Structure 1
Amino acid sequence: MLMSDPRTPFRLLAPVLGAVLAASACGGGGSSQTLPTIAPTTAIPASTTTVASTTTVVEVPTTEAVSVDTVPATTVPATTTLGVATTTTINGWTGAVHPLTGLPATDGTSGRPALVVKVGNNDSRSLPHVGLEAADVVYEAHIENGVTRFLAVYHSEVPLRVGPVRSARSSDIDLIGNLDRPTFAYWGSNEGVGNEVEAAVDQGTFVGMTTTGDGQHFFFRAEGRAETPYDGMVDSAAMAVASTGSPPDPIFAFGPLPASAIPIRGLRWEAPRRIIDWVWSHGAARWARYHQGVPLLDDLGVQLAADNVLVLFVDYRRSAADFMSPQALSTGSGDGWLLRDGTATGVTWSRPFAADRWMLTDDDTGAEVFLRPGRTWVALARLSEAEILDPDQVAQLTG
C-alpha cells in the first residue's frame, strides 16, 4: 500500500542550527582520519516500500525555540529540516515559487545559497541514504568501477544530516556551475581533483566545504553504519545556516505536460555494475526508484522517489585529474528522455556553458519541454544505456 510521506518536516530555528560539531578533521575522501562518532538517531530501515507522495497538502507543525545548550545539533532527530518545502502544487497559485522545484513557496523563498552534497552509492555499504529524499535535484553520474554516485542539491528544504558523504569527482564542477555559487560539501578528493576544485573555488564557481579545509567541523562519522569510508556524514542544516551568498536561479523550466508525451510504466538505466529502475507509482503519482532490482529505501524505510526523472545522454571522457575516473561532459547538447506524470517524452538537451540552465526541447517538434513542478533526479547516462520497461519487467520489480 502506498502512503503519504511520514517524514513531516519541522522548522528548525536558527539557534539550534547554529550549533556546530566540535571536531578536528584531516585527511581526504575514504581516509581513516579521526572525526567525531555520533550515535544514530533513526532505526535501521523497515522492510516497507512506502513511496513518498506529493499529491496531498500536509499541515506542517513548528517547534518552539530551544537553547543550543539543551539540544545540540548532533542530537536533533534526523527528520528535522531547515525550511518547510511545499510538497504539492496549488491550483491558481500566483505567488513565489521555489527556484529549483517550481513548487509554491507558501512561506516565502529562501535567501540562502544552494547546498550541494556528494553522496555515496558504491554498493550496499552505502545504504541506507540519509536526507536524499529532501533534495530538490539529484544528479547521478558514472564513477570508476562501473558504479554511480549522487550529487544532491538542497535549497527549498535542508535536512539535518546528509550521507554517506564521499569524495568529489571532476564531473561535479560543471554540473553545479549554474547554481550561482552554491556551497559544495564533499569528503576530500585525490590531489588532482582537489586542484580542480580549488581552481573552481578561486573562480567563484562555488564555496568548497570539506574534511581537509574550510568547514571540516561540519563533518562526522555516524555510529552504527558500515565501516569507513561509508559512515561519513555532514551536519547539513548547520552548514546551510553558516553559508553566505545568493539563492540560485531556476535551472529548469516548469510547465504543462508535453503534447507528444506517451504513457509508460517505467525505465531502466543499466550501467556496467549497476541496474537502476524507475517505475511509475499511480498511488503516489511519482517515479519510484529501484536499485539492483529492489526498492531503494532511505534510513526511515521510505522508498526514494521523484516527480521528474530526466535521462540525459552525455559523453564521458577520462578525467585529466584522475585517470581512473570517467568525467561526464554536461555542456553542449544531446538526446534524452523526460519522465513525468507517468509519461516519457523524447527531448534534446542543450547547455552551452556550465553557468547556463538546462534547456529541453521536443526532439520531434522543437518546442520547449517543461518539467512538472517538484523534485527532479537527473541520470547522466551513456547513449544506449537506458530502455523503456515492458509490463513484465515492471511486474517483476513490483511483485
Structure 2
Amino acid sequence: MKGIRLVLLTFVILFAFAACTRDAAHEEAQPEQGQEEEQQDQEASANTGVTAPLTGLPVDEPLTERIIGVMIDNHTQARPQSGLAQADIVYEILAEGPITRYLALFHSQTPDVIGPVRSLRPYYIDIARGFDAILAHAGGSPAAKEEIARTGYPSFDDTGNGGFVFYRAEHRKAPHNLYTGRHLLEEGEARFGYDQDYEIPALLFKPETEEMTGQEAEWIEIVYHGQYYQVAYEYQTQTGTYTRYIGSEPHTDAESGQPLTASNVLVIEAGHKVLDDAGRREVDVRGEGKGYLFQRGKVQEITWQVKDGVIRPFADGQEVGLYPGQTWVNIIPDNPGLADIVSFKAH
C-alpha cells in the first residue's frame, strides 16, 4: 500500500511541475508575441505603398497638411538648434556677411521646439513658394518684407501680427532666443486660414536598394567662410547616411543631443550679389547651374534647374532621384564656385 501511495504522490508532483512549466513558458512567450505583433504593424505601415512627398519614407496614410518653412538661425550663439533633425528638407544659404541661415521645411513631422528663429530674405521666399509653404520668421530684409506685403504670401512674422506663434526662451540671449513649435504653428495656420487652397509638390525618389555609382565621397567639406561656417559631412556605411559637422564638431540637435544626418546632400552653385554694407545678398535660386549630389558615399556631377517650382538635380537631361530620407541643400556662390568651395574624398 505504501508503494502505491508513493507512486501516486510522485505522479501528482510530476503533473504539477509540468503544469507550472507550461504556464511559465506561456508567460515568457507573451512578450515575444507582442513584439511580433508590433513588427507586423510596422511592416503593414511600410507596405501601404504611401510615402511622404518630401522624404519618400513610408507613412500610415497620405499627408495632406500644408508644408511649413521656418527660418532658423545659424549664428554661433544660436547653436545647437532645435528642430533641424525633424525637417524633411533643409536649405542652407548665406544670409549676411559670412553667416549662413537655414530654411527648414516641415511636413511629415513637426517638432514641439523649433529655433532659434531669425529673419527672412527674398530668395528663401522663392524656395518656399515652390512648396507652397507657410513661412515662419522674425522680420526680414527690406526687400523680403516688401515682397511679403506686396504678394500677401502666407507667413507668421514675429515683428508683425504673427507674434503669438513665437516665444522667447530663457536659456539664450536675444536675438538668438526666439522659438516656435508644432502647436503654435497649427494655431497660427488655423487662425489665419492658411490651411486651405495649397498644393504639395511631388519629388522623385529611387528605391532604397538601388546602388549608387560614381567617385568615392565619404568625407565632404563646404567652406562658406572660415572655421565657424565650414560644413562637413561624413558617410556612415551602416546607416547609408551622412553625419553633418560644423567645423570639426558634429552638428547636433539641442533637444536630443544627437548628430544631424542626411540621406542626400545636394550642393549647388548660384549667382550671388552683395546688396549693402550689412552683407545682404541677392541669390538666384530660380535659374540653373552646376552642382554635386552626394549619396551613399559617392558623388555625381549634376546640373540643377527649377522644375514645378522646386530645385531638382539632373544628369544627361533626366531628373536624378533622391534616396528616401532627409535632404540637405547647400547653396554656394558661383564665384568662386564648386571647385574652390567644395572638396570631397574617400576615408
TM-score normalised by length of structure 1: 0.68
Q: Any conservation in 1 of the 2:87–2:106 contact (CA below 8 Å)?
A: yes
1:113-262 aligned at under 5 Å gives the runs 113-123=66-76, 125-180=77-132, 182-200=133-151, 202=152, 206-225=153-172, 227-240=173-186, 242-243=188-189, 244-245=195-196, 248-250=199-201, 252-256=203-207, 257=210, 260-262=213-215
| Cα deviation, residue 150, structure 1 | 0.4
Question: Quick one: distance in 2 between partners of 1:313 and 1:223?
Answer: 38
Aligned residues: 292
Equivalent residue for 2:264, pick from 308, 320, 323: 308
| Cα deviation, residue 251, structure 1 | 5.0
Q: Any conservation in 1 of the 2:212–2:295 contact (CA below 8 Å)?
A: no
Question: Which residue of structure 2 aligns with residue 287 of structure 1?
Answer: 242
| Cα deviation, residue 277, structure 1 | 0.4
Question: Quick one: distance in 2 between partners of 1:184 and 1:367?
Answer: 31
Q: Which runs of 5+ in 2 are unaligned?
A: 1-37, 190-194
SS of residue paired to 1:103 = coil
Letter of the 1:265 counterpart = E
1:96 aligned to 2:50? yes
Question: Quick one: distance in 2 between partners of 1:315 and 1:217?
Answer: 36
Cα displacement string for residues 104-123 of structure 1 (whole angstroms, at most 9, x for unaligned residues)? 122x1232111110000022
Question: Quick one: distance in 1 between partners of 2:219 and 2:150?
Answer: 40
Cα displacement string for residues 347-395 of structure 1 (whole angstroms, at most 9, x for unaligned residues)? 111116xx52333222xx333311101111100012134433335xx6x
Shift in CA distance, 259/228, structure 1 to aligned 2, threshold 3 Å: closer
Question: Which residue of structure 1 aligns with residue 220 of structure 2?
Answer: 267
Question: Which residue of structure 2 aligns with residue 380 of structure 1?
Answer: 331
| Cα deviation, residue 253, structure 1 | 1.2
| Cα deviation, residue 323, structure 1 | 6.7
> For the aligned residues, what is the CA RMSD?
2.4
1:15-26 aligned at under 5 Å gives the runs none
Question: Quick one: distance in 2 between partners of 1:357 and 1:190?
Answer: 23
Question: Quick one: distance in 2 between partners of 1:250 and 1:155?
Answer: 12
| Cα deviation, residue 319, structure 1 | 4.6
Q: Any conservation in 2 of the 1:261–1:345 contact (CA below 8 Å)?
A: yes
Shift in CA distance, 247/98, structure 1 to aligned 2, threshold 3 Å: farther
Letter of the 2:319 counterpart = E
Q: Any conservation in 2 of the 1:113–1:246 contact (CA below 8 Å)?
A: no
| Cα deviation, residue 192, structure 1 | 3.6
Q: Which has the larger radius of gyration?
A: 2
Letter of the 1:216 counterpart = G
Q: Any conservation in 2 of the 1:114–1:248 contact (CA below 8 Å)?
A: no
Cα displacement string for residues 100-142 of structure 1 (whole angstroms, at most 9, x for unaligned residues)? 1111122x1232111110000022x111111110000000001
Higher RCO (CA 8 Å, separation ≥ 6 residues) = 1
| Cα deviation, residue 237, structure 1 | 3.3
Identity %: 27
SS of residue paired to 1:198 = helix
Whichever structure has more helix as a proportion of its residues is 2
Cα displacement string for residues 84-109 of structure 1 (whole angstroms, at most 9, x for unaligned residues)? xx9xx94xx46221111111122x12
Question: Quick one: distance in 1 between partners of 2:140 and 2:170?
Answer: 23
Q: Any conservation in 2 of the 1:164–1:231 contact (CA below 8 Å)?
A: yes
